[in-house]
Structure 1
């Protein structure tokens, strides 16, 4: 790649990063000034995570397979790892769900 093209790509990337950084700063300033915004962010982050973990638990119970980073644990071949993973995911889903419900309650009471 010629030097001129590399410099143009670098300049475009730098401009994009500057615009996104300014946007992030503006959102952060808004959140700092808005009462209850931190609870709304908690809800926005916890609810989808609870749904995803719950879906993974349901799929693992339905299929008998729990995929993970290095492979798949099955209920038949490796029950200890399978049930440990399902239990950990279920606890995570329950915790995130409880956090989401708490955020909803806090937002409703404001």
Structure 2
């Protein structure tokens, strides 16, 4: 998935910033974690790129066929902890400029 941020700058011009969540998923600053809702008392960070694991996992797939029937060259798979109300979270901590007036997706 690629998110496009439209950021306002001086003189009413706009700048488009591309932030590719797939390519940044294994960035050293990106942190992945899983837990069980509603309390997340069992909040645990998990490494990127592991095989499926009951605690949860996040990894790349190459050339996979998805629900649309097409082959996608690069896919990010995320799977929460294997329990009811499992949650997975990715915190992308790379610097992104967001002006004080905000940004939109």
Q: TM-score, normalised by structure 1?
A: 0.21
Q: Which has the higher strand share?
A: 2
Q: TM-score, normalised by structure 2?
A: 0.21
